[in-house]
Amino acid sequence: MKPPLWRSSLHGGHSREFCDHAQSSIQELLDTAIQAGIHTVGVTEHAPRLGERFLYPNEVRMGWKVTTLVENFDRYARTLPAVIANYADRLVVLKGYEIEVVPSDSYIPVMQDYRTRYGFEYMVGSVHYVQEISIDGSVEEFVQAMEACGGLEALAVRYYQAVAQMVQALQPEVVGHLDLIRLNGHRFGSVETPAIRQAVQQTLEAIRETQGILELNTAGWRKGLEEPYPASWLVQMAQHMGVAFCLGDDSHCTAHVAFGFERAREYLLANGVRSLTVLTREDGVLVRRTAPLED
């Protein structure tokens, strides 16, 4: 008996073969997904950050260069077809990637080229940088980003504007962890002011217009937040506007696979979301299907 369609993760599968901060292999992640009763897994490795200044501290310690990121991504894209074929009788595995918005003046054609060059089935549109400063790394970097923008509210507004611009330019099928700004932002004040809410509404309008699917990302719980990404007020706003939702575990190790999915189901239902929109593969073709959350 196949798992229910709603138990699908469209953002995950970050593996140690290709990602410095992942702990499990791609095989371990997919084997765990089968054991966890997952229907479809979108493997979505990070695209390279093309600039030495964007290397993570751990990558620097490991002696990685930008060329290392590019080579890893190339290996990832060329490895996936065999992985997909190997699991075809047990698990639907999609060929995806998670984009980066740096360098800010050139990321759009670069990310578009990756899709064409490697034949990816879909992309996860995520924003991890504002003013080319990481907003989900160290607190010190987050403070730098606030200083560059003129405070927390200004940074949050600029973040959502960056998400909207990315969505309009790349039209990703899935929009990842929409209120990631909350991860560090909650330490410094409210990330739900009227100005921020207005910016969020404009971003949701861009997602709706491009028929994007908003990810309910359970990593927020893993990282100590009271709610996943996005927060309940944002889920309600998106649901009211008719924006579609999917699930993502943002897995970097086997313990993350399907983390919090039952809790996420209850969370979505409590906030008025009755079904998910899932990308899966049928007869060799990527399709978009509605998956009810209620029994």
Q: Determine, yes or no, domain membership for 2.
A: no
**CATH number of domain containing 251:** 3.20.20.140
Cα separation, 203 vs 175, whole angstroms = 11
Rounded Cα gap, residues 80 and 86, in angstroms: 10
Residues 6+ apart with CB under 8 A from 206: 163, 164, 167, 168, 212
CA–CA dist 276, 268 (Å, integer): 9
Instruction: Tell me which DSSP letter residue 134 carries.
Output: E
How many domains does one find in the chain? 1
The whole domain housing 269 covers 9-290
For each successive 10 residues of the chain (295 residues), what is the average pLDDT?
95 96 97 98 98 95 97 98 97 98 98 98 98 97 98 98 98 98 97 98 98 98 97 98 98 97 98 98 97 90
CA dist 86 → 13, 75, 81, 204, 210 (Å): 16, 17, 9, 37, 33
Q: Which has the closest alpha carbon to 258: 87, 39, 89?
A: 39
Q: Which residues of 237-248 are buried (b: 16+ CB within 10 A; e: fewer)?
A: bbbeeebbbbbb
Tokens 């190997």 correspond to what residue?
86
Calculate the alpha carbon distances from 196 to 27, 155, 171 in Å.
41, 9, 22
Rounded to 5 degrees, φ, ψ at 219 are -65, -25
Q: Would you say the pTM of this structure is higher than 0.85?
A: yes
pLDDT at 72: 97
